[in-house]
Structure 1
Amino acid sequence: MLSLTATLCIVGVGLVIVVGGILGFRLHAFLALVLAAIVVSLLTPNSTVEWYRLGKLQIPVLNQQEGTATLDLKASPSHQIGQQFLLAKQVEATGSVETVATATLARFDDKEHAIVDIMPVEGSTGVDWDKSIVVTPQAREDATAFANQTVGNLVAGGFGATCTGIGILIALAAIIGKCLLDSGAAEKIVRWMLSIVGEKNAPLSFIFSGFALSTPVFFDTVFYLMIPIGKAMRLRTGKNYLLYILTIVTGGTMAHSLVPPTPGPLFVAEELGVDVGVMILAGGLVGLSCAMVGFLYSIVLCRFVDIPLRESPDMSLEELQNIADREDSDLPSIWMSLMPIILPVLLITGATVMNTVLKGVDQADISPVIHWVDQFFVLFGNKNIAMAISATLAIIMLVRQKKSDVSDLANSLQAALASGGVIILITAAGGAFGKSLQQTGIANLFGDVAGASTTMILVIAFVVTALVRLAQGSATVSMITGVGVMASFAAGVELGFHPVYLALAIGCGSKMFLWMNDSGFWVIGKMSGMTEWETLKYVTPMTSVMGVFGLLVTILAANAMPLV
């Protein structure tokens, strides 16, 4: 068994490789994460990996007495009287995994839970229920085979498992984002929001537009899109330029870390076993509440300070004026523009709602209409199918709007997939690194905390993510690393609350400490014309305030409504 010091050292080496590789050696995040995963796997003993795997395959023990135990195993044709199980334990002195007893299925109680007779193995170190787990003989063999894989296969397994969960979604989201930008649909959404709230309330329009666009479009791209509109508004009003900048950042940055299918929150949800529909709903609610705090912060700050509209490298003031004067007739309709964003949200969350409502309901008690609706959402509410439908609509919109030929369309899609491919590589490499961290037994470091305090677990997740963000800059990489450390608490029984709250705490932690090592810092500063000091003084505190507020909301919700 790895000691506390050894586990911390291995995890620390992995974190140093990620942070040092990205900052010190300017490695691409993909390379840094893969290298860290390989090194952590090399340093982790096979017996520790085997024990980690057995923990994933164990059968929960409801209670135990002298010579017997009750397992959380329901009666079924696959479970027969006389079936054998094993009690395994990791020996502290050597770290090896030992079978300390056999368990024979004797009967089922009135709740159909399995009652087993325990027979200690002669020569073993003895049964210790605080340290022993119950597994099937097949699970023991599988865990041994898993631990004896080469390091390359272990890392590749984590990489592939992550790709399976999120690869298609990220590629489709990249296509949707590219089509929204090239067709003018994104600009149409911003203008439509402006027409609803009025130019006087343009900051609110920027918040909601940025929030909506940052779900399928990466934050840097959303800022590129919206800052010219903010500058054009400054030309019209002659004031409030800093307010426009801050509100564009507010909406976009919160969706970037809390609402799938943006890669960061999508990856965190997959790792923690959180339904994507639940993550969209919870992330949307917390993200919008944080955005409102950011809005209030911006309003108060801009009563005392503003910055001038300056020339910036991206475009001249004359080009800005041309954007402001662009005709609405050159843009797609608002319904066509919104559909690629709204439709997958409705389908995915609809499937989540139907699954929640009908959970535990006998099929015979469901009316034909409800059954048809349920089957509709089973098919089209699948996250991959919903996003594929949305991408198809976005492509059709681009073709209609631009009236481009097949080669132009192919070039647009190729550019989108090239951009999405890089994100897939980074997140999948992060998945491999996260799995390597989990196999060290990192969850054991927080075992006492997990049993004691909901608040403490969420604070730990927030702080780990925030520290990684401070060290290396990327919000997405900090979320990948944070969930790698905390993912072993995904089971609701261990947490005492729904894992979506853990995902939200990780997302909020990624909002902390925006500074020079983050590409977003330079995008915001250079595109808006702010100096480095102005960006640090005005933008960084706002994103940190939103992150802390999001953590507080998450803690309150997890304590008031644990949802388990």
Structure 2
Amino acid sequence: MRHLSVEMLAAGDSAEKITSAGDLQLGIAVLVGIAAIVLLITKWRLHAFLALTIGSLVLGSVAAASPDKTIESFTAGLGETVSGVGVLIALGAILGKLLADSGGADQIVDTIIARTGKRAMPWAMVLIAGIVGLPLFFEVGIVLLIPVVLLVAKRGQYSLMRIGIPALAGLSVMHGLVPPHPGPLAAIDSLDADLGVTLALGVLIAIPVAVIAGPLFARFADRWVDVTPPEGLVPQRPSEELKSRPRFAATLATVLLPVVLMLAKALTDVIVDNPDAGVQRVMDVVGSPMIALLAAAVVGMFTLGRAAGFGTQRVATTVEKSLVPIAGILLIVGAGGGFKQTLVDIGVGDMILRFSEDWSISALLLGWLIAVGIRLATGSATVATISAAGLVAPLAADMSSTHTALLVLAVGAGSLFFSHVNDAGFWLVKEYFGMDVGQTVKTWSVMETLISVVSLVFVLLLSLVL
């Protein structure tokens, strides 16, 4: 990604700008561009990729940028975003598909449930969702875990809300705060944040947030909404059809491998702090996101695929099928990067920096608020994260690596705020749990808002001590 240096910001250099519009016109252009995206997604049900593409053209047009320069900015942003995170998304999809098809996810679930008492079950579910949700996209995680939640609730005679809310909280927190999920990865790329630091702080915040929004909030949700698992949606677990399943220890080690490698790199950078040292040079390679996820995907072919009895052809088929569903995600993430780059090139970043100098609001809170607004309008956490990160990117130019990582997390937290009827996740939860719209708002939507607000509180607290 192209980033604005401190010198450029201080001097107001316009070398990168594609328009000479003033701040008022730029502000109007941003509002009109975002409004166009919102209307296209919500009213006309246009795919987010097309909506972001058209919104970028509208943005450039209202800002009085020439069409060819607008297209050039959008194309550059799209290409740079996909090149930065596309491979990581693909590798994460492969690992997630291997985990699901091999029965590895069920192995984790069954092992923890077998060792968990009834009172501890909500805590077990948030743990399961957190572990399984690390390499999975949010929608994939929902499709994978909600049937498991329904099975547990039905067979164990548990309240659906007491079991379901912790699982949803674990998935959602991972989706918004912890790479290698697409939103956090794109924000890290956009803000030039350190992935290892962001991952470490994201996990640190995710744990208490998942506890508060999961097992603790589930007690209240259970009082507000009483539903039973829909009979037609309680499935037979596919892993029961397999001749064998991966062992629990091997499955857990495979899932956590990329996280461990990336955290090891971050620790090495802090402890060794010598770019010429051999161990740091090795860890810079081994702990890079691409190598870490590639290693996990390759290891998973053996520890998950072969352990489930998959032959070479079956493993190849699983890998191939894992890449098909992510085409839409890659396009949305790429178009979000194109929209972000158009915002940067028309000078919106400079405008926000000038205005924010006179505000008493912190950059972390500003990033959260912008993400909240885009999330409420579009219903997409990924679009909200990418767009908000692009808008506040200039503010990160003179931040420390720790505070830049916290800015990523603040934006990610804002992107989870109050999921409602324009969010696909809202309807997935509603249908799987057999709830009406009002019940879904009182449980799922409130839970998402709680995650967003509590995450922001922890981000702000960490910013005071780090």
Alignment TM-score, normalising by the size of structure 2:
0.88
Q: Classify 1:202/1:34 alpha carbon distance in 2 versus 1 (closer, same or farther; 3 Å).
A: same
Quote how far apart the aligned CAs of 1:206 are.
1.1
Quote how far apart the aligned CAs of 1:354 are.
1.2
> For residues 285-300 of structure 1, what are the structure 2 equivalents within 5 Å?
285-295=204-214, 297-300=216-219
Partner residue, 1:524 = 429
Partner residue, 1:347 = 261
Partner residue, 1:415 = 321
Q: Classify 1:457/1:512 alpha carbon distance in 2 versus 1 (closer, same or farther; 3 Å).
A: same
Counterpart among 16, 37, 41 of residue 56 in structure 2: 37
Which deviations, in whole Å up to 9, do the C-alpha atoms of 1:238-289 show, x marking residues without a partner? Answer: 2322111111111000100111111011111111111111121111111222
SS at match of 1:458: helix
Q: Is the 8 A contact 2:416 2:452 kept in 1?
A: yes
Amino acid at match of 1:160: G
Partner residue, 1:503 = 408
CA distance in 1, matches of 2:298, 2:402: 38
Q: Classify 1:449/1:285 alpha carbon distance in 2 versus 1 (closer, same or farther; 3 Å).
A: farther
Partner residue, 1:198 = 117
Counterpart among 283, 299, 324 of residue 393 in structure 1: 299
CA distance in 2, matches of 1:520, 1:241: 18
Q: Classify 1:303/1:161 alpha carbon distance in 2 versus 1 (closer, same or farther; 3 Å).
A: closer
Amino acid at match of 1:481: S
> For residues 260-271 of structure 1, what are the structure 2 equivalents within 5 Å?
260-271=179-190
Quote how far apart the aligned CAs of 1:194 are.
2.5
Amino acid at match of 2:279: V
Partner residue, 1:427 = 333
In terms of fraction of residues, the more helix-rich structure is 2
Q: Classify 1:503/1:454 alpha carbon distance in 2 versus 1 (closer, same or farther; 3 Å).
A: farther
SS at match of 2:134: coil
Counterpart among 450, 455, 462 of residue 545 in structure 1: 450
Q: Classify 1:239/1:196 alpha carbon distance in 2 versus 1 (closer, same or farther; 3 Å).
A: closer
Q: Give the structure with higher Rg (CA).
A: 1
Q: Classify 1:5/1:302 alpha carbon distance in 2 versus 1 (closer, same or farther; 3 Å).
A: closer
Counterpart among 203, 225, 244 of residue 284 in structure 1: 203
CA distance in 2, matches of 1:275, 1:379: 14
Partner residue, 2:386 = 480
Q: Is the 8 A contact 1:498 1:558 kept in 2?
A: yes
Q: Is the 8 A contact 1:312 1:528 kept in 2?
A: no
Q: Is the 8 A contact 2:198 2:406 kept in 1?
A: no
CA distance in 2, matches of 1:221, 1:312: 22
In terms of fraction of residues, the more strand-rich structure is 1
Quote how far apart the aligned CAs of 1:503 are.
0.9
Partner residue, 1:49 = none
Which deviations, in whole Å up to 9, do the C-alpha atoms of 1:419-443 show, x marking residues without a partner? Answer: 2232111111111100101122223
Partner residue, 1:50 = none
Counterpart among 134, 156, 166 of residue 247 in structure 1: 166
* Structure 1 position 444 matched with structure 2 position 366: no
Quote how far apart the aligned CAs of 1:453 are.
6.5
Amino acid at match of 1:152: I
* Structure 1 position 332 matched with structure 2 position 238: no
Q: Is the 8 A contact 2:246 2:308 kept in 1?
A: no
Partner residue, 1:556 = 461
Which deviations, in whole Å up to 9, do the C-alpha atoms of 1:337-386 show, x marking residues without a partner? Answer: 12332111111121122122233x595xxxxxxx4432331221121111
| RCO comparison, higher one (Cα < 8 Å, 6+) | 2
> For residues 148-187 of structure 1, what are the structure 2 equivalents within 5 Å?
150-187=69-106
Amino acid at match of 2:72: N
CA distance in 2, matches of 1:362, 1:421: 37
% identity of equivalent residues: 27
Quote how far apart the aligned CAs of 1:196 are.
4.3
Q: Is the 8 A contact 1:454 1:558 kept in 2?
A: no
- Structure 1: any 5+ residue segments left out of the alignment? 47-146, 364-370
> For residues 76-225 of structure 1, what are the structure 2 equivalents within 5 Å?
150-225=69-144
Q: Classify 1:7/1:192 alpha carbon distance in 2 versus 1 (closer, same or farther; 3 Å).
A: same
SS at match of 2:53: helix
Partner residue, 1:19 = 38
Partner residue, 2:47 = 28
Quote how far apart the aligned CAs of 1:457 are.
2.2
Counterpart among 450, 458, 464 of residue 370 in structure 2: 464
- Structure 2: any 5+ residue segments left out of the alignment? 1-19
> For residues 292-311 of structure 1, what are the structure 2 equivalents within 5 Å?
292-295=211-214, 297-302=216-221, 304-305=223-224, 307-311=226-230
Quote how far apart the aligned CAs of 1:220 are.
2.0
Q: Is the 8 A contact 1:272 1:487 kept in 2?
A: yes
Q: Is the 8 A contact 2:230 2:432 kept in 1?
A: no
SS at match of 1:492: coil
Deviates more, 1:397-406 or 1:172-181: 397-406
Q: Is the 8 A contact 1:312 1:529 kept in 2?
A: no
Quote how far apart the aligned CAs of 1:410 are.
3.2
Q: Is the 8 A contact 1:222 1:252 kept in 2?
A: yes
Q: Is the 8 A contact 1:197 1:204 kept in 2?
A: no
CA distance in 2, matches of 1:454, 1:261: 33
Q: Is the 8 A contact 1:179 1:398 kept in 2?
A: yes
Amino acid at match of 1:27: L
